[in-house]
Structure 1
């Protein structure tokens, strides 16, 4: 079965706001649990996935694999949504991947779906 990367991009501000009861976090985690169950129910499989720490913790490098590699400030400071996590899904085809992506939680942003390029390991 083909593999797909679901990139989760969202606004960080709602997650940074005070949430004394942790209700937003609990609601979003419940959505991810529901998504996981829906993937399994559809006969597809989650092969991996992670949530990322806020973009303020990121390090940006330019000139990698050269003698001039340098760390730089955020190269895209005006983005409204940032990459916040991902899933790698094995689905029957593009149509099933699209239907599953519609269920992937991103209440403050969007999901980008990308087929994984499978290279022959020959």
Structure 2
């Protein structure tokens, strides 16, 4: 079995604006669907871990690449992009095809695009 990272992507600002979901009911339905998806992963032995992230606006970037100067911190996300990482799963799957199928179920459950990447090693 290989491990894969499934990442959930959101448009910037949706958390702060409260527009990640169209309504409270839609949000609660997505949370329930993600809970069912998580349980399915656990039942089939594919679950490694998962988590949701705070909004990218709350990120702190730490650059310690210049040891003589000490680390430099800046507020906000590192990347300026059309979408930001909102959450993730690490799963075990037999191959890329199985991981993609699980990502399709994850995307359906959470209502956002999900990217699949294999972990090295």
TM-score (norm 2): 0.75
The equivalent of 2:79 in structure 1 is 76
Change (3 A) 1:23 1:13: farther
In the alignment of these two chains, the number of paired residues is 114
Is the counterpart of residue 107 in structure 1 residue 108 in structure 2?
A: no
Unmatched 5+ stretches in structure 2: none
Q: Which structure shows the bigger proportion of residues in helix conformation?
A: 2
Unmatched 5+ stretches in structure 1: none
- Does the CA contact (< 8 Å) of 2:7 and 2:116 recur in 1? yes
RMSD over aligned CA atoms reads 2.5
TM-score (norm 1): 0.75
The equivalent of 2:59 in structure 1 is 58
- Does the CA contact (< 8 Å) of 2:2 and 2:118 recur in 1? yes
Instruction: Give deviations 1:33-58, integer Å, cap 9, x for gaps.
Output: 232244356x3511101101111111
1:1-122 → structure 2 map (5 Å cutoff): 1-18=1-18, 22-40=24-42, 43-64=44-65, 66-68=67-69, 69-74=71-76, 75-77=78-80, 79-105=81-107, 106-108=110-112, 110-118=113-121
